[in-house]
Structure 1
């Protein structure tokens, strides 16, 4: 299928754009050199240190070894070379894998996986530290690849290194707090300086949307790209399975919109490993081969050889370990091979991921505003024969055709991230949660809901009586928001001292419950979490002197404006200098806490 022709680059200066996909198990990098007026070409980085024998491979293991002093000993393919485990033992190196999952929002599939279930981070290292170290490694690999691959590569890199735009991908379920930590890691890794201009060169895209861009740009979605048609992307990776659905609004120019909010479940291929490990520990607890060393050897073989080829639960599968002298009939171990029954064992590892994926797909079908007919299965876990066949059979019953492209789909996200920077096919997205602010409400003694909260009242300088713990939605779940669309929330501030009105700090709260329009936060406080804090300089906003029961006070009116239709939340404030005059705008900064916590009651 012919690839979609990219538009000539419209910028005025030469640039380099890097798409970096740090995956739970594997990572990849793609890039494009942007010359004004020229049609860009998207390239993948296909040569990494330690992977010379697999030239052309576009993915690299997301693993590192740390020295005892906290420095990186090796990373990527070099950390997976034969003998590294012996070297690590001799030099007390600390192995790190699956570090990306430490970054996930705490509320995401909290019942499925807890932080204690994950391989630990090195002592004294945060997830941002490890993420930064791995980003720095990928960046150095990319620099080396470009310098070695392109003619006059060194001078080419020197001319571009201060004009690099970075697009970092992340699972659909990641939010602003995770984006903030990824941007912090990019600064720590030396990708960009810690200045507003430097940090503005770091962009974000969800893995589902990046996969869509890849499918469109590479021509894989040509047959489904018709006005009014819709497509689902099932990106099955190592940590998460991301499900997104899009409608083709028009083909000329190409315009795509989300037809329902994207979903994200922590049921990627690493959960297969985790369930296998838990089962083996129970199965072998009374066996001489139930020690940590033998189980690790079994899990390594399972991950590399048993899991990828499992296709039929009616057949037995085997895990090789040890030597021919390893036998334990009670544990089904014979001549160094542990036999697993497909139906009882392997199915118990795989089935939960399939069921969770199907539940998410059914939710997409139910909530989509346009009918869906085709689904693309992409990502590293998509290579699983059992997952593909099982999903295909289930989706056919729902009227969906499942396609599984085979052209480096395991790291298509990096290519799609570059394409997103160049083209922005998706013009509207569906809001996943209801966003709003905690407010105070005018107390009405005739309202039963107010009467039952009478103990939670207070008076302002104006003499008006208010109730605490009200909630005012700014943007409701399920709303379709265009990229350029703004939503605003009016504010009134009162103070005796005018100087205290020179700044605003307010929390943007996310409601994670089943409804879309809650009125009170005290009913179900556990369903409200602080998404971020908006801080703004309001010193330029006019204020009026008023007289109240307790004397003179000042009142200030303005709006907080949120730009929610992009892949990253942005904010500003607006106000009127006078009633008939034009609006004035001022900057507002969005601040994310390290951890999302429920607001105090």
Structure 2
């Protein structure tokens, strides 16, 4: 009887290939792109959304919205019926109040979002987790249908989530926790999932620059300003081209951004309608208001309006809003009365937001000019709002004489962020032809540690002076040592580090070393002394290893006392929006079982 052939052992995940998934979790819309290692030059966009109206299934993004029904049954995205109450803008509620501009914090949308969360007894973090879980499950279903269940089960997953460049570090950690709780990091057939972050403007820029690769007019030393105009945020980033093929760039000045996206234009137009309708606005059903804004504004006026247009728009007054005397004669007129939206009304909605965007662009252009000595070659508009005709006209009017303004059409600007996230991960992995390597980035904050330094009369404040009994000498307490200062060039290939020492009683019992805390500040130049008003904790590096002092190097103080000294190196790496911290003793990196990095979410 022939023996049954032995099943070949499953190859390790690295040889099974990699599935790369880029997730653009936006304020108003979210999108997902993916590829896999043997087809990494082909990026696919998730569509096929469940849709209550059956007319948005093939859109390349879905609304960032959820609705809690009876027994907490959740609908999300396009599947929410238009008349249903729903939660939007929840992304901004991951920020602490003090990090939300007052005009946004007090806006109706934020108030409605908070009210909705309170009504359903949910936190912003729980709501974001719920949305991500549904987005993820739908994405995995689509990916499985596209590349097979075997690939999804056995390949290594690399997920890249994009974040606004202006977000504080604690918000990034909240996103990581939400992704974990949404099941995105669950082990599949024993294979761990890798999660990294990248800033939205960098992802958008990578996709845009990849589209430009091979063009004869793109040359070494050229500089570009990429303006990512989204629903809530507008982020700007500037690059200098180091090498055209394969494309290598460096961030040449510190990026900028602000909360001045499309939703603020939408709010301003809503105020125009309220003024035009007067008392009739309050008579209108909320679902009719939403439908009017969607059909008349979002898919009509906002997309098509151009600078210099003299066209007015007539919007019918719904029957429910007619005054009593108008209803009495309704049979005698051929159509419902209308209100008129003039070009001046539309400009009033656009202009305050566009002027803020132009101010950001002006600052970025001037920074590039000061650093490089020449104007940027291009200002490139991307993002959903970046497709707007009126925005292009106003930006071109302001800067077109000195910088060429580019604006792609179709889905490319809207999907730039999630596509760029995929290209970023593929570049890191060294697979495929799609490659835009960011050689250096500019630090947007200063990062460092708080420690005690040997006393220096010339440098230190007398109130910081104290006597160290173990070493028998004077020290200055609570001094800041910065690994990276705001504006510094940082690279993933060349980590920055600092050597740290901890003293132990030589005859004391084994114990765990003290935690090492990493701090950040946006004050420049960064303070040399600890200041809780401007320095915030980023994360804590917690030792899990118990150290026996008798195994450490032995030192003597000036009076003959003996003590032990633990010397290690704290290393910081940066790739996109992902910062990593590690501890090295000598040349050996302490593993995850020895040290653990806990990020602050406050």
TM normalised by structure 1 equals: 0.80
Determine the C-alpha separation between the residues in 2 that align with 1:43 and 1:12. 22
Answer yes or no: is the 8 Å Cα contact 1:20–1:417 preserved in 2: yes
Secondary structure in 1 matching 2:306: coil
Rate the CA distance shift 1:415–1:444 in 2: closer, same or farther, 3 A: closer
Rate the CA distance shift 1:356–1:505 in 2: closer, same or farther, 3 A: farther
1:593 aligns with 2:590: no
Rate the CA distance shift 1:406–1:57 in 2: closer, same or farther, 3 A: same
Answer yes or no: is the 8 Å Cα contact 1:306–1:319 preserved in 2: no
Answer yes or no: is the 8 Å Cα contact 2:187–2:193 preserved in 1: no
Q: Map 1:31-50 onto structure 2 (within 5 A).
A: 31-35=34-38, 40-50=41-51
Match of 2:152 among 146, 160, 164: 160
Determine the C-alpha separation between the residues in 1 that align with 2:384 and 2:206. 17
Answer yes or no: is the 8 Å Cα contact 1:48–1:60 preserved in 2: yes
Rate the CA distance shift 1:201–1:305 in 2: closer, same or farther, 3 A: same
Residue in 2 that maps onto 1:351? 351
Counting matched residue pairs gives 547
Q: Deviations over 1:327-379 (max 9, x none)?
A: 69xxxxx9664445544x54443233223222322332233343411021011
Tell me by how many angstroms 1:133 deviates: 2.1
TM normalised by structure 2 equals: 0.80
Tell me by how many angstroms 1:244 deviates: 0.9
Q: Map 1:66-85 onto structure 2 (within 5 A).
A: 66-72=68-74, 74-79=75-80, 81=81, 84-85=82-83
Tell me by how many angstroms 1:241 deviates: 0.7
Residue in 2 that maps onto 1:140? 137
Q: Map 1:258-337 onto structure 2 (within 5 A).
A: 258-277=251-270, 283=275, 287=279, 289-290=281-282, 293=285, 296-297=289-290, 299-300=293-294, 301-312=296-307, 315=310, 320-323=316-319, 326=322, 337=338
Q: Deviations over 1:157-213 (max 9, x none)?
A: 244234332222222223543332222222222222279x97652222222122222
Q: Deviations over 1:499-519 (max 9, x none)?
A: 576233232221212x23432
Determine the C-alpha separation between the residues in 2 that align with 1:166 and 1:108. 27
Tell me by how many angstroms 1:292 deviates: 7.9
Q: Map 1:31-430 onto structure 2 (within 5 A).
A: 31-35=34-38, 40-50=41-51, 53-54=55-56, 56-72=58-74, 74-79=75-80, 81=81, 84-85=82-83, 88=84, 94-104=85-95, 108=99, 110-114=101-105, 118=110, 119-120=113-114, 122=117, 123-148=120-145, 150=146, 156-163=148-155, 164-193=157-186, 200-219=193-212, 222-277=215-270, 283=275, 287=279, 289-290=281-282, 293=285, 296-297=289-290, 299-300=293-294, 301-312=296-307, 315=310, 320-323=316-319, 326=322, 337-340=338-341, 342-343=343-344, 345-368=345-368, 369-370=371-372, 371=374, 372-397=376-401, 399-408=402-411, 409-424=413-428, 425=436, 426-430=438-442
Tell me by how many angstroms 1:96 deviates: 1.1
List alignment gaps of at least 5 residues for structure 1.
1-9, 89-93, 329-333, 577-582, 596-601
Rate the CA distance shift 1:364–1:270 in 2: closer, same or farther, 3 A: same
Determine the C-alpha separation between the residues in 2 that align with 1:13 and 1:401. 45
Determine the C-alpha separation between the residues in 2 that align with 1:199 and 1:108. 34
Secondary structure in 2 matching 1:308: helix
Answer yes or no: is the 8 Å Cα contact 1:224–1:230 preserved in 2: no
Residue in 1 that maps onto 2:461? 450
Residue in 1 that maps onto 2:4? none
Answer yes or no: is the 8 Å Cα contact 2:173–2:601 preserved in 1: no
List alignment gaps of at least 5 residues for structure 2.
1-12, 325-334, 429-435
Determine the C-alpha separation between the residues in 1 that align with 2:452 and 2:314. 63
Determine the C-alpha separation between the residues in 2 that align with 1:199 and 1:102. 30
Determine the C-alpha separation between the residues in 2 that align with 1:335 and 1:562. 66
Aligned-residue RMSD, C-alpha: 3.5
Tell me by how many angstroms 1:321 deviates: 4.7
Rate the CA distance shift 1:566–1:63 in 2: closer, same or farther, 3 A: closer
Residue in 2 that maps onto 1:25? 28
Match of 1:438 among 420, 429, 450: 450
Secondary structure in 2 matching 1:423: helix
